[in-house]
Structure 1
Amino acid sequence: MFIILLRLTKDNGHMAEHHFPAHKAWLTQGFEEGVFDLAGRLTDVGGAILARNTTRADIEARIAKDPFVVYGVAQPEILEMSPSVASDAMTHLIPEDAR
């Protein structure tokens, strides 16, 4: 599982609104392909995405195609996580071998 932080850049963060429709289409594709589970805004910082069912190499390639990243609106940080404990509502996020 991956947590992707998209931090708005000082130089181009003001362009987020302009590139948002393309960024949203990119997000939609990730959801449709079963890679993204959750995405949202981080107040005054940028955004975050929860991803799974993918490899590190794939997520790096996918993030490189995000219009926010392509146009320098946001700088990505990819954190890899191995979930082992979850609430009842989130147990589907824990791999079978970790339960």
Structure 2
Amino acid sequence: MFIITLKFADKSKAPQHMEGHNAWIKRGFDDGVFQLAGSLQPNAGGAILAHGIAREELEMRVNDDPFVAEGVVSAEILEIAPGRVDERLAFLRA
């Protein structure tokens, strides 16, 4: 399981790349890789919960985000090995 943080580096470029970024997020959900996406508060960027993908593949996917490629955000990938999991999230153990 991974948490990806996308922190604004140059927010002024965000509007021109928003359509591509939103399409990238949609692809992540359509592919079953992204489980959750949301904003970092207050207006600091975004975060994504990803699962079911190898780190190397995720790194390539993150680098394909137009926000990352164009320097709108800086990305960090945090890998988590779940030790305790609520049964509602048991699928994250795999």
- Is the pair's TM-score, using the shorter chain for normalization, greater than 0.5? yes
- What is the root-mean-square deviation in Å for CA atoms of aligned residues? 1.2
Q: Aligned partners of 1:81 and 1:13: how far apart in 2?
A: 28
* TM score, norm. by length of structure 1: 0.86
Aligned position for 2:3 = 3
Q: Aligned partners of 1:88 and 1:20: how far apart in 2?
A: 36
Q: Aligned partners of 2:54 and 2:87: how far apart in 1?
A: 26
Could you tell me how far 1:85 is from its partner in structure 2? 1.7
Unmatched tracts of structure 2, length 5 or more: none
Aligned length: 93
**SS of equivalent to 1:58:** helix
Q: Which of 4, 13, 16 matches 1:15?
A: 13
**SS of equivalent to 2:77:** strand
Unmatched tracts of structure 1, length 5 or more: none
Could you tell me how far 1:90 is from its partner in structure 2? 2.0
Stretches of 4+ moved more than 3 A in 1? none
* TM score, norm. by length of structure 2: 0.90
Deviation by residue 1:21-54 (Cα, 9 ceiling, x = unmatched): 1101001111111111111110221000111111
Could you tell me how far 1:89 is from its partner in structure 2? 2.6
